Amino acid sequence: MKRLSLTPADTVQFSKIVRGLNFFGSMNMAMLERILEGLQLFECERGEKVCVQGEVGDTFFVVQKGSLTVAVRKGRFSLSKKVATLGPGDCFGEMALLHEAPRNATVACDEVSRLFVLPASHFRAVLAQNPDFAKEINHLASTRQSELDHKFD
Ligand code: CMP
What is the set of domains in the chain, with CATH numbers? Answer: 2-151 (2.60.120.10)
What is the model's pLDDT at position 26? 81
- How confident is the prediction along the chain (153 residues), in pLDDT tens digits per residue? 999 999 999 999 999 999 889 898 888 888 889 899 999 999 999 999 999 999 999 999 999 999 999 999 988 788 899 999 999 999 999 999 999 999 999 999 999 999 999 999 999 999 998 999 999 999 999 999 999 988 777
pLDDT value at residue 98:
97
Ligand 1, atom 20: closest residue by C-alpha: 84
What is the predicted pLDDT for the residue at 6? 96
State the pTM of this model. Answer: 0.96
User: Alpha-carbon distance 54 to 140, whole Å?
Assistant: 20
Atom of ligand 1 nearest to the CA of 91: 11
**C-alpha distances in Å from residue 13, one per residue of 98, 107, 115, 116:** 24, 22, 12, 10
Q: Is 119 exposed, middle or buried (0-12, 13-18, 19+ CB in 10 A)?
A: middle
The pLDDT of residue 28:
85
* Residue 82 one-letter amino acid: K
95 C-beta closer than 6 A to ligand 1: yes
CA distance 111 to 99: 29
Residue closest via CA to ligand 1's atom 8 equals 93
3-state secondary structure of 121: helix
Please state whether 89 falls in left (phi above 0), alpha (psi between -120 and 50) or beta: left
- Name the closest-CA residue to atom 7, ligand 1: 105
- Picking from 3, 142, 137, 118, the residue whose alpha carbon sits closest to that of residue 61 is 118
| Rounded Cα gap, residues 4 and 10, in angstroms | 11
pLDDT for 140: 97
CA–CA distances in Å: residue 121 to residues 72, 86, 109 = 26, 24, 25
Task: Give the pLDDT confidence score for residue 29 in this predicted structure.
Answer: 85
